[in-house]
Amino acid sequence: MEFKTVEGEIPYHKLLSETSADNVKMELDLCWVTKAGVDPVELFAKHPGRFPLWHVKDIDKDMTGPQPVGTGIIDFKRIFANASTAGMQHFFVEHDMPADPFASITTSFNNLKTIMG
C-alpha cells in the first residue's frame, strides 16, 4: 500500500509528531489501521498515551472488509496487552454493515471475553 505524503511525510504521522500529547488524542480504528499496513502496537510505542479511544473490529484475511472480533486476522491479544502504552481508556466494538448485527456483536463480545481473559 502506498501512502500519500506531504513534504515527504504521511500527514497522520506529521499530526502526531507536531502536536502536543497533552492536547491532541486520537480515536483509532484497529480494523482500518491494520488494512493500511500499520501495526497498532508500533504506533502506540511511537506515540504513547495518544490513543484513549479504540474502535474494535476485525478484518478478513484478504483485507477486504470488517469481521466480528476474533474471526479475522488481527491479533487482539497482543494489542490489548499494550493498552496502557496506547493510553486506552475506552473501546467500542463495532462492525460496519454486518449481515446480522446481533450475531456479529454476540461473536465479538464472546471472543473479547476470551481474549481479555
Tell me which residues of the chain have a pLDDT lower than 50. none
* pLDDT score, position 2: 66
Domain boundaries, the chain: 24-116
CATH number of 24-116: 3.20.20.150
Unique residue bearing C-alpha cell 493498552: 83
55-79 per-position pLDDT tens digit: 999 999 999 999 999 999 999 999 9
Q: State the first-to-last Cα distance of the chain, in angstroms, to the nearest integer.
A: 34
Distances in Å between the Cα of 15 and the Cα atoms of 11, 23, 47, 95 are 6, 12, 11, 27
* pLDDT score, position 6: 86
